[in-house]
A and B are shown apart, each in its own frame.
Chain A
Amino acid sequence: MEWHNIPDSLIDAVSASLLGTANESKKGELNEWLAENDSNRLFYDNIKKPEVLAGMLARLSSYDTESALILIKSRLESKRRRRSLFRKAAATAAACIAAGIFLLFSLPSFSELETSEDSRIITGTSHPVEDINFISGSRSVAIARNADIVIGERGNVTITGSENEDIATIDVAEAQELRLVVPRGRRSSIVLPDGTKVSINAGTTLKFPSKFAKNERRIQVEGEIFVDAAHDPSRPFFVEAGDMTIKVLGTQFNVSCYAEEAGSSVVLVDGSVEVSAFEERRTMEPGQMCRTDNGKLSMQKIDTEEYVSWKDGYILLPRKMPVSEVLTKIERYYNVNFSCSDRGTLADRTCWGKLMLAEDMENILKAICLISGTTYERDGDAILIKADSVSNL
């Protein structure tokens, strides 16, 4: 008998005996088989142990059949559309150049690719990107692209697009609270009436007055901003971010305070700020990060570039970073959600370097996949990222 020609009746006899439902004829078949040789006996004695069988059943149920089926379907589809490897590589390289991506990359060696055991997938969903909203009182201006906003001393607001084209001008007559809502997938910047420059990251709401008070300047943020505060010792600048209040005289710093993240943090690039929260007060030095952490403030030394590079349009990956972490970093910029499947996160697929935040998500995904040894497929809003190795197997 060939090893793979196993009679159904034998499978039934062994299974039924293990479950205690075997009739006489099945018991007979089992015994006959057990008497054939010692290795059959050893096999049966082992599988008969309850803890062994329970472990085997648990392992059998650990494979994810439905995900695998989806993966196979998408791979069949992409095989149909597969271009030659050269054209594919050339196109990806071109995409990287187009996206202005400078990569100090570590391409896994071929042997790594081929022997990798990692076939896990990451799926993603891309969502439509909403307009930026500039709100003053009952008036609201929707801006359908990344925009720069300047508020003049007399409350005249100028909104320009990324290529300096005029989008709108508004006059805000009396002093009132203004609100700028920058949704996920958009970025913006604003010059406040005192000349302070604020870069606004995706998914951020900023509140500020059209005219600052005589004795202080105060803004509120939920999300992430980088502030280059105009120097004015007579009017300290305050940023309120969640539990934190940051007092500034004139300096550059980053504030991050997303509702979906625990706590707020300040990264100081230059000058000096004073952070207060939970009745605690700390003075920061450049190169430090201060964050709220379980009801208290904690300080640490960091590389500021990593935290503030977004304002200059790139993400710095200072060390080898798993693809899943890199994807999490870009979620907010392109309004996309990635979920790593239960079994893990393509942990051995890494990249590092500078990722330029291109306008088009397609380009940045292509680049991430190229350097990390993964491939990516897109079907409408759905995104699938998986290790390269499978097709080489």
Chain B
Amino acid sequence: MIAKKTLNITLNDLNNGEHDSFDTVFRYYYPSLCYFAENIVGSGSAAEDVVQSVFLGFYENKPRFENITALRSYLYVAVNNRSIKYLNKQKRNIPADDLLADSKAETDNRFHMAMEANVVDEIFKAIDTLPDACRRIFEMSYIEHRSVKDICEELQISENTVKTQRQRAKKILRERLQGLYRYVIYIFF
């Protein structure tokens, strides 16, 4: 599986309907959109169905976007609507209004769901940019919260190596999470 670490497309290509740029968008957003949909529909395979059918429409209709944030909004809204449609089909006897409830609580809920999907995806992609050696150390240290001593023992390396690699990881991550490396986009009008 190829994880696309950066969304490296030109909006111009996308808006001109270049197929490769659609593939790039797909690879970049598919996991996080599935994650978002799964939080709504409650099943991984149903979530994948939902996201795939959204992208099917995306490939066919070739919508145009002014910027990358608009693209992301479009995809999240489409996945949300499609998920609700899916739930409606599953629970026919529940009035659609109940499911579509646009109460403040529901909106809050969607916001946090989308937030979670975005943050988890961002962390995943950030960690994924790390070179292998420092990635493993970083994961053990910051995700699994293991002690330096513990890591040294498991990986059979010195305390110094652990510390250097951790610093290196942090430096790379900091650069990425400035947002500078997230989207490599050239916009042509």
- List chain B residues, Cβ under 8 A from A18: 119, 123
Query: Known: A117-B46, A390-B49. Is A21-B173 also a contact (CB below 8 A)?
Result: yes
The contact of B120 among A23, A50, A56, A66, by CB within 8 Å, is A56
Task: Give bound CA distance, A326 to B72, whole Å.
Answer: 42
A207 touches B (CB below 8 Å): no
A118 touches B (CB below 8 Å): yes
The contact of B35 among A14, A15, A59, A111, by CB within 8 Å, is A59
Smallest Cβ distance from B146 to chain A, in angstroms? 10
Residues B46 and A14 in contact, CB atoms below 8 Å apart: no
A305 touches B (CB below 8 Å): no
A114 touches B (CB below 8 Å): yes
Q: Which of A3-57 contact B (CB under 8 A)?
A: 3-6, 8-12, 14-16, 18-23, 26, 39-40, 43, 47, 50, 53-54, 56-57
Query: Known: A4-B114, A19-B173. Is A12-B31 also a contact (CB below 8 A)?
Result: no
The contact of A15 among B1, B23, B177, by CB within 8 Å, is B177
Residues A72 and B119 in contact, CB atoms below 8 Å apart: no
B34 touches A (CB below 8 Å): yes
Task: Give bound CA distance, A10 to B182, whole Å.
Answer: 14
A138 touches B (CB below 8 Å): no
Query: Known: A21-B174, A68-B52. Is A9-B120 also a contact (CB below 8 A)?
Result: no
Smallest Cβ distance from B53 to chain A, in angstroms? 5
A76 touches B (CB below 8 Å): yes
- List chain A residues, Cβ under 8 A from B34: 63
Residues A20 and B142 in contact, CB atoms below 8 Å apart: yes
The contact of A19 among B86, B145, B177, by CB within 8 Å, is B177
Residues A15 and B123 in contact, CB atoms below 8 Å apart: yes
Residues B90 and A115 in contact, CB atoms below 8 Å apart: yes
Residues B52 and A117 in contact, CB atoms below 8 Å apart: no
Smallest Cβ distance from B34 to chain A, in angstroms? 4
Q: Mark A262-285, 1 if CB is under 8 A from B, else 0.
A: 000000000000000000000000
Q: Which of B82-133 contact A (CB under 8 A)?
A: 82, 85-86, 89-90, 92, 107-108, 110-112, 114-116, 118-124, 126-127
* A contact patch SS: helix
A71 touches B (CB below 8 Å): yes
Which residue of chain B has its CB nearest to the CB of A39?
A: B108
Number of A-B contacts (CB under 8 A): 167
Smallest Cβ distance from A323 to chain B, in angstroms? 15
Task: Give bound CA distance, A61 to B143, whole Å.
Answer: 15
A389 touches B (CB below 8 Å): yes
The contact of B44 among A3, A4, A63, by CB within 8 Å, is A63
Q: Mark A59-77, 1 if CB is under 8 A from B, else 0.
A: 1111111101101100110
Task: Give bound CA distance, A54 to B59, whole Å.
Answer: 33
Which of A26, A69, A72 has most chain B Cβ within 10 Å?
A72
Residues A119 and B49 in contact, CB atoms below 8 Å apart: yes
Task: Give bound CA distance, A54 to B46, whole Å.
Answer: 23
Residues B142 and A115 in contact, CB atoms below 8 Å apart: no
Task: Give bound CA distance, A15 to B31, whole Å.
Answer: 17
Smallest Cβ distance from B160 to chain A, in angstroms? 20
B21 touches A (CB below 8 Å): no
Residues A65 and B27 in contact, CB atoms below 8 Å apart: yes
Q: Which of B159-188 contact A (CB under 8 A)?
A: 170, 173-174, 177-179, 182
Residues B112 and A39 in contact, CB atoms below 8 Å apart: yes
Which residue of chain A has its CB nearest to the CB of B28?
A: A65
Q: Which of A94-117 contact B (CB under 8 A)?
A: 111, 114-115, 117
- List chain B residues, Cβ under 8 A from A64: 1, 48
Task: Give bound CA distance, A43 to B59, whole Å.
Answer: 34
- List chain A residues, Cβ under 8 A from B59: 72, 76
Residues A43 and B89 in contact, CB atoms below 8 Å apart: no
- List chain B residues, Cβ under 8 A from A117: 43, 45-46, 49
Residues B35 and A118 in contact, CB atoms below 8 Å apart: no
A332 touches B (CB below 8 Å): no
B50 touches A (CB below 8 Å): yes
Smallest Cβ distance from A55 to chain B, in angstroms? 10
Residues A61 and B142 in contact, CB atoms below 8 Å apart: no
Smallest Cβ distance from A384 to chain B, in angstroms? 14
Residues A76 and B60 in contact, CB atoms below 8 Å apart: yes
Report the 5 A-B pairs with minimum CB-CB distance, sorted nearest first. A3-B111, A117-B46, A16-B177, A3-B110, A63-B34
List 29 A–B pairs whose Cβ atoms lie within 8 Å, in order of A's numbering.
A1-B111, A4-B72, A5-B69, A11-B115, A11-B118, A12-B122, A14-B115, A14-B119, A15-B119, A15-B123, A16-B177, A19-B173, A20-B142, A21-B173, A39-B112, A50-B144, A54-B144, A56-B116, A57-B123, A59-B38, A60-B124, A61-B31, A63-B31, A68-B48, A69-B30, A71-B52, A72-B52, A76-B59, A117-B45
Q: Give the interface of A toward B (CB within 8 A).
A: 1-6, 8-12, 14-16, 18-23, 26, 39-40, 43, 47, 50, 53-54, 56-57, 59-66, 68-69, 71-72, 75-76, 79, 111, 114-115, 117-120, 343, 389-391, 393
Q: Give the interface of B toward A (CB within 8 A).
A: 1-3, 23, 26-27, 30-32, 34-35, 38, 43-53, 55-56, 59-60, 69, 72-73, 76-77, 80, 82, 85-86, 89-90, 92, 107-108, 110-112, 114-116, 118-124, 126-127, 142-145, 170, 173-174, 177-179, 182
Besides A15-B177, A65-B30, 6 other A-B contacts (C-beta < 8 A): A3-B111, A4-B114, A20-B142, A50-B144, A68-B48, A119-B52
